[in-house]
Amino acid sequence: MRTVAYLGPEHTNTHMAALAKFGRKVEFVHAPTVEEVFHLVEREKADVGVVPIENSLEGAVTHTLDRFIDFKQSPVQVIGEILLPIGHFFITRPGVPLGDVDTVYSHPQALAQCRPWIQTHLKRGISLNETHSTAEAVRWVAEGVGDGKSFAAIGHKEAARQYRLAATPIRDDRDNRTRFLVIGLKDPAKIGRSKTSLLFALKDKPGALHDALMPFKQNRINLTKIESRPSKRKAWEYVFFLDIEGHSSQPAVQRALEALKKTTSMVRILGSYPMASGSRKSPE
Amino acid sequence: MRTVAYLGPEHTNTHMAALAKFGRKVEFVHAPTVEEVFHLVEREKADVGVVPIENSLEGAVTHTLDRFIDFKQSPVQVIGEILLPIGHFFITRPGVPLGDVDTVYSHPQALAQCRPWIQTHLKRGISLNETHSTAEAVRWVAEGVGDGKSFAAIGHKEAARQYRLAATPIRDDRDNRTRFLVIGLKDPAKIGRSKTSLLFALKDKPGALHDALMPFKQNRINLTKIESRPSKRKAWEYVFFLDIEGHSSQPAVQRALEALKKTTSMVRILGSYPMASGSRKSPE
């Protein structure tokens, strides 16, 4: 039986993503941090790991990106991706009216995503408290101090069910989806269309970013994502994360990557993996 | 006398940046959020505002970037930048040994920047609590519940001095600097070398990012920064923030911006302003 590590605790969105991908016929292990998920995979305590990488409203999960920059020698590669529509629920003890709530707990990403709803539906001057996960927030409401009647959490309805709390869907017509990466030590099977994730650093010369992107255009390879992060070695020096369509074994991709190596100071292929349906965005 | 709004409270790094730029001959107003700093400038309650935009270790301040995307009709423009070396201090009540500390309060960016120091110097399993500002964290230690002996904050030494707390410098040989933007309604004077900030969205076609960068290379204009953020209109659609060298009144910059308008679906110039010394990075 395969072991799947995920950013926990149970009933987080990462847990839901892992369940959606691997079903119930695997053993799940949850880890408290992104770092720990990588660690479990590196030490072969888990066969694969699931970590969030970006949200369609709030952008990159910088912890995950930085783990790839900081651990250059890690044998971990990206072996898959999962896309999950995110539906948040407003969770209170049963029978608590919205107007009684004066403190809302949740993960900072969930609080940020629900800010418009909070401003419309809750009283002014409400206190927003950050927790490590949406699941922890729900536990706070269930086990909170005092009568707990003025506390609410934003989280997943599964977590509310576990503690027998009331859950109201937070409606938002914006397209809220999170993309997760599956990490592992072994190359994944080549099924359907592929995507390749890589990172690179630029040479110190004008036009360097333009030149780095040129080989992809010349080889008609679509970029689906570019993200810059500080190198942490030198101020205002960046590392770029790139997702492209295609597999690193395809001749056009190989030609582009060879050319990229010549024009940049560092290239690291993070992995080629099957593209999740709905993952392709407007091409760049 | 000019009024300068900044992301407060007093003794935050943004306050230090505002003091470094404007000295003491202006009136300072602090605001609790980035949003509120923009608001004060838009309603002419302040002549200029100071907000953080990126840190050399932790990357973009996404709140500030998103304010430019979300409020397309805002008359606010970028009129300057400030670079501030960041030195964090470990702040406790006087005479508290490091080994007694079991809870550290600070702003999430400061906690993230000091993670290596915390792991080396403090006991394992320490609790890290996020506050809205480093100044608020210091106030927690000064006014904390109980005897407060096991609490510490990471913040500025000015804040420690205000509350008569002990402050030890957190040494870190990485280059830690934060860049702040000065925002206002009036064009700044053109002094020395200029920088221009802009944002754009791509057309839905392959090679679109490459094509968007081409006019800058052709006109020999250096990019000092590129950052992508979700558009929030459609999943996996991004808006790009670009900083370039040069002033929007210069012919080469005008030619590049005209060409950029043809190849993208939206361009917004956020402002041209004098480049702070030390702001130029390795060119892209």
Q: Confirm or reject contact between A132 and chain B (CB < 8 A).
A: no
Which of B184, B215, B234 is where one domain is finished? B184
Does a structural domain hold residue B130?
yes
Residue B282 lies in a domain: no
Give me the pLDDT at residue B146, please.
59
A215 in the same domain as A108: no
Tell whether A279 is covered by a domain.
no
Nearest chain B residue (CA) to A60: B229
Residue B64 has pLDDT above 50, yes or no: yes
Same domain, B263 and B136: no
Q: Indicate whether B126 pLDDT > 70.
A: yes
* Interface pTM, i.e. ipTM: 0.80
Residue A230 falls inside a structural domain: yes
The reported pLDDT for the residue numbered B279 is: 62
How far is the CA of A48 from the CAs of A13, A36, B82, B205, in angstroms? 17, 12, 44, 35
Query: Rg (Cα) of chain B, in Å, rounded?
Result: 21
Q: Is the pLDDT of residue B52 over 50?
A: yes
Q: Say which CATH number the domain at B235 has.
A: 3.30.70.260
Q: Which helix (H) or strand (E) holds B128?
A: strand B127-130
Are the beta carbons of A283 and B204 separated by less than 8 Å? yes
Clarify whether residues A205 and A249 are in a common domain: yes
Yes or no, beta carbons of A236 and B210 under 8 Å apart: no
Contacts of A115 (CB under 8 A, 6+ apart): none
Same domain, A209 and A153: no
Q: Residue B226 is nearest to which of A211, A228, A284, comparing CB atoms? A: A228
Please name the residues between 167 and 206 in chain A that touch chain B, using a CB distance below 8 Å. Answer: 174-177, 202, 204-206
In a domain, B189, yes or no: no
B42 and B75 Cβ atoms separated by less than 8 Å:
yes
Number of domains, chain A: 3
Residues of B in contact with A281 (CB under 8 A): 235-237
Pick from B204, B214, B283: which is nearest to A206 by CB? Answer: B283
Please state, in angstroms and as integers, the Cα–Cα distance from residue B72 to each residue in A56, A222, B45, B226, following that order.
20, 29, 20, 19
Query: Do A93 and A152 belong together in one domain?
Result: yes
Across the interface, of B54, B224, B230, the residue whose CB is closest to A57 is B230
**AA letter at A249:** S
Binning pLDDT at 50, 70 and 90, where does residue B71 land?
confident
Q: Please tell me which residue, B39 or A236, carries the higher pLDDT value.
A: B39
Q: What is the pLDDT of residue B50?
A: 97
Q: Which residues of A2-32 are buried (b: 16+ CB within 10 A; e: fewer)?
A: ebbbbbbbbbbbbbbbbbebbeeebebbbbe
Q: What is the DSSP letter of B99?
A: G
Domain-ending residue, one of B184, B209, B243? B184
Average pLDDT score over residue span B132-143: 88
- Contact (CB, 8 A) for A232 and B57: yes
- pLDDT of A284 reads 42
Q: Smallest Cα–Cα separation from A112: which of B5, B39, B76, B65?
A: B65
d(CA B11, CA B17) in angstroms, rounded, equals 10
Look at residue A60 and tell me if it is in a domain: yes
User: Cβ of A96 under 8 Å from any chain B Cβ?
Assistant: no
Regarding whether B113 and B8 lie in a shared domain, the answer is no
Do residues A204 and A227 both lie within one domain? yes
Please name the residues in contact with A132: beta carbons below 8 A apart, sequence gap of 6 or more. Answer: A32, A107
Asked, for residue A160, whether it belongs to a domain, the answer is yes
Residue B150 belongs to what domain range? 89-169
Rounded CA-CA distance A78/A185 in Å is 9
Least confident of A69-73, B96-100, B153-157, B278-282: B278-282
- Is A116 found in the same domain as A43? no
pLDDT tens for chain A, 284 residues: list them. Answer: 799 999 988 888 999 999 999 999 999 999 988 989 999 999 999 999 999 999 888 888 888 998 998 877 889 999 999 999 999 999 999 988 888 998 899 988 888 889 889 988 998 878 888 887 898 899 989 987 656 678 999 999 989 999 999 999 998 878 899 999 999 999 999 989 999 999 999 887 778 999 999 999 999 999 989 999 998 888 888 899 999 999 999 999 999 999 999 999 999 999 999 999 766 543 44
Name the domain boundary from A150, A184, A218.
Answer: A184
Residues A211, A159 share a domain:
no
* A280: in domain: no
Beta bridge partners of A230: A238
Percent of chain B residues past pLDDT 90, beyond the cut: 60
Task: Tell me the mean pLDDT in the region B54-70.
Answer: 88
Look up the CATH number of the domain holding residue A112.
3.40.190.10
Closest CA to B252 of B212, B204, B278, B220: B220
CB-nearest partner of A227 from B177, B224, B228:
B228
Residue B219, helix vs strand vs coil:
coil
- Asked whether residue B127 falls in the same domain as residue B161, the answer is yes
User: Which H, E and C letters describe B268-279, residue by residue?
Assistant: EEEEEEECCCCC
Distance CA A52, CA A65 (A): 10
B240 and B211 share one domain: yes
C-alpha A186/C-alpha A175 separation (Å) is: 33
Q: Is the dihedral of CA B145, B148, B151, B155 positive or negative?
A: positive
B-chain residues within 8 Å CB-CB of A108? 108, 130
B204 and A282: CB-CB below 8 Å?
A: yes
Q: Are residues B70 and B180 in the same domain?
A: yes
Average pLDDT over residues B176-184: 95
A266 HSE (CA, 13 A, CB side): 13
A224 at interface of B, judged by CB pairs closer than 8 A: yes
pLDDT of residue B145: 62
